[in-house]
Amino acid sequence: MPRLTDARKELRRAQITEAALRCFGRNGLERTSIADITAESGLSAGSIYAHYRDKADLVQSSAREVLAERAKVLSEYAASDTPPDPDDLLGRLTAAIDPVAARVGVQTWGEATTNPAIRGIVVDMTDRMRAMLHDCVTAWLVKVEHHEPDRARESAAPIAHRVMALYQAQLLYTALQSPPEETAS
C-alpha cells in the first residue's frame, strides 16, 4: 500500500475543497465555476479533474466536509463528566458557528431539496447530529439531574429535537446575517 502517496493525495483533495468552500461561501454552490476554483486554489482545471470525477463529486465532498465539521464539536460534550444543560448546549453550538460554514450549510439545504446525492448527505448528517444531541442531553439528565438512564433517554428525545431545531434556525440566521465578503473581481 502506498500510504504516503495516499496521504499526499488526500492533502491535495483537501486543498481543493478548501478553496472550493471559500468560493461557495462567496458565490454559492451552483454559481461557482471551475474557473473560480482554479483561481482560488492556484491549481488548474486539469489538476482538479485528476482528483474529482466531476463538479458534482467536488460539491458532494465539500458539503460532507462542512457538515462533518459542525458535528465534530458535539462528540466531546456527551462524554464529559459534567455535560452542559440544554440551554448551555445550544449556546455553545451557536457560539461555534462560522459564518462561511453557515452560508455553505444553508446552501446545501437548498441543494438537497432537488439533488438526491446532497439530500442523502444532509439527512445523514442531520440524523447523526440529532443523535449526538440526544446523547448529550441524556448524559446531562443522568449525570447532573440524576435521572434514571432509561427514563432519561426517553425524555431526552423531544429536548434534543428542540435544541436541533433552534440550532438550525440560528444557522440560518447567521447565514442571512453576514453578507459574503466581496470578491476582488
Partner DNA sequence: GTCTATACGATGATAGAC
Partner DNA sequence: GTCTATCATCGTATAGAC
Which residues of this protein are in contact with DNA, per CB under 7 A? 5, 9, 12, 31-35, 42-47, 49-51, 54-56
Q: Does 37 bind its own copies (CB under 8 A)?
A: no
* Distances from the Cα of 134 to the Cα of 44, 94, 147, 152, angstroms: 44, 17, 15, 10
Q: Does 40 bind its own copies (CB under 8 A)?
A: no
Window 92-111: residues binding its own copies (CB under 8 A): 103-104, 106-111
Q: From the list DNA, its own copies, none, which binds 5 (C-beta under 5 to 8 Å, kind-based)?
A: DNA
Phi and psi at 50, nearest 5°, equal: -80, -20
Q: From the list its own copies, DNA, none, which binds 54 (C-beta under 5 to 8 Å, kind-based)?
A: DNA
Q: Is the distance from CB of 116 to CB of 38 less than 8 angstroms?
A: no
Q: Which of 28, 51, 64, 131 binds its own copies (CB under 8 A)?
A: 28
Number of residues forming the site for its own copies (CB under 8 A): 35
Minimum distance from residue 52 beta carbon to DNA (Å)? 8
Q: Does 55 bind its own copies (CB under 8 A)?
A: no
Q: Is the distance from CB of 140 to CB of 84 less than 8 angstroms?
A: yes
Which grid cell is 20? 472550493
* Distances from the Cα of 42 to the Cα of 5, 19, 47, 57, 114, angstroms: 21, 9, 10, 20, 31
